[in-house]
Amino acid sequence: MGEPVLQVTDLTKRFGKVTSVDGISFELPKGEILGLLGANGAGKTTAINMVLGIISPTAGRVEVFGKELSSARIPILRRMNFCSTYTQLPGNLRVWQNLKVFGKLYRVKNLIQRIDEVLEMLEISHLRNRVTGELSAGESTRLNLCKALMNRPELLLLDEPTASLDPDIADKVRKVVSRIREEENTTILYTSHNMRDVEEVCDRVIFMHKGKILFGGTTEEMLQHFEEESLEDVFIRVARGGDIENPRDLTPPAEADREEGV
């Protein structure tokens, strides 16, 4: 299978006496979409911020593209991108101007053409000249995703990309995510509270609870493990009780087979 695009090893973050992330480890192979699930306060955002290098871990390490993030952050980030519903682009710029700024930061070639491509991909070409601060919540969410796709990232981190979207637009966003993985072999770490997102786009999921990873596997394995009929039921059960006795091995199946000589 080759070297993973993202490898997190014993990652820990403490804020004073509070442990937000508690020794988590996982791998993300090239071209896979991995869902990072958990209730509010589970440690997902802190983990993502450490993968982005925004905050430094208390212990453990993050390796991206085979390099340690702490020693090669800038060249690594040029090959990555991030989208969150909860971040806002400068409101005084027009849509195309915001994309142009980020395109220049990422040294995007054929910049104007790429701006047109991502706007069309997310079906907001008609907003090209709109002032960003005048956009609706759903329009801003799609613009953030456009920004994240500008540099054709090899590793894409998506934090609640369908939040604030109506069901029709959310479905279109899920299709865009699946499309870029299929066409460009993009590797994606995907957080969401929308279980339909997880069911439709994620190959595997890991479930965090109180800073720890309590489960890793496919959605089908989750349902079997908990003997539940839906991921929403699983989510509620874990969020309320965190009652998983035996955390699953988080090694991707192909890697596990290779280690066992299969």
Contact residues for 132 (Cβ-Cβ < 8 A; gap 6+): 89, 90, 91, 92, 93, 94, 95, 98, 140, 143
Domain housing 40:
1-78+194-262
The pLDDT assigned to 193 comes to 86
Residue 100 lies in a domain: no
What separation in angstroms does the CA of 90 have from each of 77, 104, 118, 138, 140?
A: 21, 15, 18, 16, 11
Is pLDDT above 80 for 137? yes
What is the percent of the chain where pLDDT is above 70? 91
pLDDT (tens digit per residue) in 139-173: 999 999 999 999 999 999 999 899 888 999 999 99
Phi-psi region of 259 (alpha: psi -120 to 50; beta: other; left: phi over 0): alpha
Average pLDDT score, the chain: 89
Over range 43-59, report the average pLDDT. 94
The pLDDT assigned to 248 comes to 44
Residue 211 lies in a domain: yes
Residue 204 lies in a domain: yes
**Strand 33-37 to strand 204-209: parallel, antiparallel, or no bridges (unpaired)?**
parallel
Is pLDDT above 70 for 18? yes
The pLDDT assigned to 110 comes to 96
Residue 125 lies in a domain: no
Q: How many domains does one find in the chain?
A: 1
pLDDT band at 252 (very low <50, low <70, confident <90, very high): low
Read off the CATH number of the domain in which 260 is found: 3.40.50.300
Going 80 to 81 to 84 to 89, the CA torsion angle's sign is positive
Residue 53 lies in a domain: yes
The pLDDT assigned to 249 comes to 45
d(CA 193, CA 199): 11
Token digits of residue 237: 């059960």
- pTM for the full model? 0.88
Is pLDDT above 50 for 258? no
The pLDDT assigned to 219 comes to 86
Residue 160 lies in a domain: no
pLDDT band at 245 (very low <50, low <70, confident <90, very high): very low
Over range 11-31, report the average pLDDT. 95
d(CA 189, CA 33): 6
Q: Is 109 exposed, middle or buried (0-12, 13-18, 19+ CB in 10 A)?
A: exposed
What is the percent of the chain where pLDDT is above 90? 67
Residue 242 lies in a domain: yes
d(CA 27, CA 204): 11
d(CA 200, CA 203): 9
Over range 210-232, report the average pLDDT. 86
1-37: buried (b, 16+ CB within 10 Å) or exposed (e) per residue?
eeebbbbbeebbbeeeeebbbbebbbbbbbebbbbbb
- Which amino acid is present at 145? L
Residue 41 lies in a domain: yes
pLDDT (tens digit per residue) in 108-136: 999 999 999 999 999 999 999 999 999 99
d(CA 61, CA 23): 10
The pLDDT assigned to 90 comes to 95
The pLDDT assigned to 196 comes to 86
Over range 104-108, report the average pLDDT. 95
